[in-house]
Amino acid sequence: MPEKTINGTTITVDDDGFMTDHSQWNREVAAALAEEEEVTLSDAHWKVLDFIASDFAEKGKVPGMRRMNKVGGIPTKELYTLFPGGPIKKAAKIAGYPKPASCV
């Protein structure tokens, strides 16, 4: 597995840059990953990231768009505003989880 160093922390990633060991993730790593994706984290971003974490703990996979809308209460339009150009994929990467199966 490839490795990359972010803010002095070495993380393992897959070929698409998604973390492979979530235990290496922390808020500083998230901020650096967000910067790479040209996203500046705000409280609204953290609401999405926190939902992904709690849902992943429950279901064992990154929630899709419909689940983010229905269960997370986060409208599609807001997700695209917060994470332009692929909200679920970008949010999962920043949250330190694997690439969602629904994303190509």
pLDDT in tens, 63-101: 999 999 999 999 999 999 999 989 999 999 999 999 887
Return phi, psi of residue 2, to 5°: -65, 155
Q: Is the pLDDT of residue 103 over 70?
A: no
Domain ranges of the chain: 3-95
14 is catalytic: no
* Catalytic position from the list 18, 24, 103, 104: 103
Instruction: For residues 55 and 51, give the distance between their C-alpha atoms in angstroms, rounded to a whole number.
Output: 6
Please, is 40 exposed, middle or buried when counting C-beta atoms within 10 Å of its C-beta (0-12, 13-18, 19+)?
exposed
Instruction: For residues 4 and 22, give the distance between their C-alpha atoms in angstroms, rounded to a whole number.
Output: 14
What are the pLDDT digits (tens) for 11-60? 999 999 999 999 999 999 999 999 999 999 999 999 999 999 999 999 99
